Chain A
Amino acid sequence: MTDSLDQIFVFVKHWLLDQLANVLPPAIMPLVSSVMSLLPVLVVFPSLFALTTVFERKGLGRIQNRYGPNRVGPFGFLQFAADGIKAIIKEDVVPRAADKVVHFIAPVILVITALTVYAVLPFGRNMVAADFDAGLLFFFAVGAASELAVFMAGWSSRNKYALLGAMRAVAQMVSYEIPLILSSVAVVMITGTLSLPKIVAAQSTHAGLLPDWFVFTPWGFAGFILFLIAANAELNRSPFDLPEGESEIIAGYFIEYSGFKFALFFLAEYLSMFALSGLGITLFLGGWNAPFAALEFIPSWAWFFIKLLTMIFMFIWTRGTLPRLRQDQLMNLAWKFMIPMVLVNLVAAAVWHFTGPGITRWFTSGALVLGAYMLLGKPQFESKDIGKRTYRFAD
């Protein structure tokens, strides 16, 4: 029973494929199979985007001690419908000086890249659209193309703010791509595979009370935190929302977009957020595995979505808490702190791997990570006492 519930989507797909095989020519069956794998992704994640916008606005509201949207539908949960209709019926303004073709395809490319990465994410047991060996590499390769789309949007708008935003975005995304990838490399070193389902399988066992998720190791914990920070920066979300920076450059690279294209930028941003959260879950939080053996009656795909919602909540929570960084602070954090940290983390992962099981590897690996954290963080981010502020003219 639990097994059939766990595999229900797989069974449904195979049953449908069997039915269609009687009707359709065998030559197009692989195409039909991939369409049927992708269709749920195209339905579920945009719907999740719609819900997340409401959750985010309500969550941010609660963080700021207000209600958030509560007018449309029950408790305001239909707000996304109102927003969507508004975005569709708004006039689509294209600046006269804009490069119209590039201006048009930039949001399309952004959404396509954001959607393509879902192909390799395992949403549950046997539930991955394209299970190939270089899945992680594919994820990062496609994800990096979003930088191109962002710069296309900024450049083609022929607007100072858009260009500034795009340049900030590219500088930020290129800088944070390195810690993002290097923090995942530690997982690849341990598991010895780039295939995401195999990485999940490597975390499916239980050691005592805790599951064998990589987040419960010193290098995995540090890697997960670094991954979260880098993912936050990669997504241009607060506190790394300099490319958008409402108070400085209004909306950054999508300032000249209106109506549905503007909505597409938001869709792409949230889709990338879900995808990177999914990747974080897959790499560090045991993918679709249940935390305890006793909880395995809950289907694997449900576990994936529970973890995904938790990650989304984390993203909303950080957005509601932290103020925006300055450009130099952003770059300092990436190049002087995050990249040395991930490099040390790689060594810590190697130490963990080669010091056999036991308490020793906890200490050596943990000491490495913690020592690097103290040494790198202390001199750079220590608040300096600059004394009492004196005023020359105001007194």
Chain B
Amino acid sequence: MLGEGIIKGMAETARNFLGSYVSAERLTTVQYPEERSVQIENARQFPFLVFDGDDPMKGLRCVACQICEKECPPKCIYIVKSKDKRADYKGQMQLYPTTFNIDLSVCMSCGICVEVCPFESIKMNTEFELSTTDRFGGLLVNKHQLAKSNDHYRKIHPTDASSSDAALAVEVAKAQAKAKADVEAKAKAAAEAKAKAVAATPVAPQPVAAT
């Protein structure tokens, strides 16, 4: 019958109206400042820089390769390379950023910087309460504000952090194996050279004799 659907709809909304006063589980919203919903693990807001060890500036993984700066679609990253080098986590001598700024008002949280970083050094943070009264300076964050420990990363994104740690461990193992191999190769080369030298010694006078 005509109008039946309207009455059904009105009954449904009336049920919602009264039910929301009776049963709290009907209410779908979260009263934000007082209560918070748990963030899902893949939540991402803005990038941060990972550091190892205790000193944020010394342990920064970033080697100022500037790949993220070039790949960033809205161009919100600004990096200045250092003049000198220092040892990175696997002992290789690398550059480091003297300036690393991200303009959060420009960043669009795409996560491309994270995907392109070959050093596992830039990751996405979950911090979202970043409101400020200064919309220019307040949203331009430098490397001191960006640096967060690897423990922080393990806390916010445990799965990603463990795979990142594993990748770095593989790199370190590879580097150690290579160093070991180098040492062995060097030793071998030295031994060979020595053996060659030893073998060559008796022969050496011959040309002299020949001449």
Instruction: Return A390 CB to nearest CB of chain B, in Å.
Output: 25
Please provide the chain B residues from 1 to 27 with a CB less than 8 Å away from any CB of chain A in the complex. 1-3, 6, 9-10, 12-14, 16-17, 19-21, 26-27
Instruction: Return A315 CB to nearest CB of chain B, in Å.
Output: 12
B201 CB-CB contact with A under 8 Å? no
Q: Contact: B3 with A67, CB < 8 Å?
A: no
Given contacts A67-B27, A374-B1, A377-B3, 17 further A-B contacts (CB under 8 A): A62-B16, A63-B13, A63-B17, A64-B16, A65-B19, A65-B20, A65-B27, A65-B28, A66-B27, A70-B31, A317-B17, A320-B13, A321-B10, A321-B13, A322-B6, A322-B9, A381-B2
Query: Interface size class for chain B?
Result: 10 to 19
B206 CB-CB contact with A under 8 Å? no
B29 CB-CB contact with A under 8 Å? yes
Residues of B within 8 A of A382 (CB): 2
Q: Contact: B28 with A318, CB < 8 Å?
A: no
Q: Contact: B13 with A66, CB < 8 Å?
A: no
Q: Contact: B20 with A318, CB < 8 Å?
A: no
Q: Contact: A65 with B16, CB < 8 Å?
A: yes
Instruction: Return A270 CB to nearest CB of chain B, in Å.
Output: 20
Residues of A within 8 A of B27 (CB): 65-67
Please provide the chain A residues from 1 to 58 with a CB less than 8 Å away from any CB of chain B in the complex. none
Instruction: Return B167 CB to nearest CB of chain A, in Å.
Output: 40
Q: How far is the CA of A377 from the CA of B14 in the complex (A)?
A: 25
Q: Which applies to chain A's interface (DSSP): helix, strand, loop or mixed?
A: helix
Q: Contact: A377 with B2, CB < 8 Å?
A: yes
Q: Contact: A62 with B21, CB < 8 Å?
A: yes
Residues of A within 8 A of B19 (CB): 65
Residues of B within 8 A of A320 (CB): 13, 17
Residues of B within 8 A of A67 (CB): 27, 29, 31
Q: How far is the CA of A73 from the CA of B66 in the complex (A)?
A: 52
Chain B residues within CB distance 8 Å of chain A: 1-3, 6, 9-10, 12-14, 16-17, 19-21, 26-29, 31
A388 CB-CB contact with B under 8 Å? no
Instruction: Return A370 CB to nearest CB of chain B, in Å.
Output: 11
| Interface residues in A, total, Cβ within 8 A | 19
A138 CB-CB contact with B under 8 Å? no
Residues of A within 8 A of B13 (CB): 63, 317, 320-321
Residues of A within 8 A of B20 (CB): 62, 65-66
Instruction: Return B168 CB to nearest CB of chain A, in Å.
Output: 45
Say yes or no: A378-B2 contact (C-beta < 8 A), given A62-B17, A318-B10, A321-B13.
Answer: yes
Q: Contact: A317 with B10, CB < 8 Å?
A: yes
Instruction: Return A371 CB to nearest CB of chain B, in Å.
Output: 13
Q: Contact: A66 with B28, CB < 8 Å?
A: yes
Q: How far is the CA of A373 from the CA of B31 in the complex (A)?
A: 47
A218 CB-CB contact with B under 8 Å? no
Instruction: Return A59 CB to nearest CB of chain B, in Å.
Output: 7
Instruction: Return B108 CB to nearest CB of chain A, in Å.
Output: 25
Closest 5 CB pairs of A and B: A377-B2, A66-B29, A321-B13, A63-B13, A62-B17
Residues of B within 8 A of A318 (CB): 10
Q: How far is the CA of A67 from the CA of B35 in the complex (A)?
A: 14
Closest to A59 in B: B17
Q: How far is the CA of A59 from the CA of B1 in the complex (A)?
A: 29
Residues of A within 8 A of B29 (CB): 65-67
Instruction: Return B25 CB to nearest CB of chain A, in Å.
Output: 10
Q: How far is the CA of A66 from the CA of B1 in the complex (A)?
A: 32
Residues of B within 8 A of A66 (CB): 20, 27-29
Residues of A within 8 A of B3 (CB): 377
Q: Can you list 19 A-B pairs with a CB-CB distance of less than 8 A?
A: A59-B17, A65-B16, A65-B19, A65-B29, A67-B31, A317-B10, A317-B13, A317-B17, A321-B6, A321-B9, A321-B12, A322-B6, A322-B9, A373-B2, A374-B2, A377-B2, A377-B3, A378-B2, A382-B2
Closest to B27 in A: A65
Q: Contact: A317 with B28, CB < 8 Å?
A: no
Instruction: Return B132 CB to nearest CB of chain A, in Å.
Output: 22
Instruction: Return B1 CB to nearest CB of chain A, in Å.
Output: 8
Please provide the chain A residues from 86 to 132 with a CB less than 8 Å away from any CB of chain B in the complex. none
Q: How far is the CA of A62 from the CA of B19 in the complex (A)?
A: 9
Residues of A within 8 A of B16 (CB): 62-65
Q: How far is the CA of A277 from the CA of B164 in the complex (A)?
A: 66
Instruction: Return A19 CB to nearest CB of chain B, in Å.
Output: 48
Q: How far is the CA of A378 from the CA of B3 in the complex (A)?
A: 10
Residues of B within 8 A of A59 (CB): 17
Q: How far is the CA of A67 from the CA of B29 in the complex (A)?
A: 8
Q: How far is the CA of A322 from the CA of B10 in the complex (A)?
A: 8
Closest to A318 in B: B10
Say yes or no: A65-B26 contact (C-beta < 8 A), given A317-B13, A320-B13.
Answer: yes
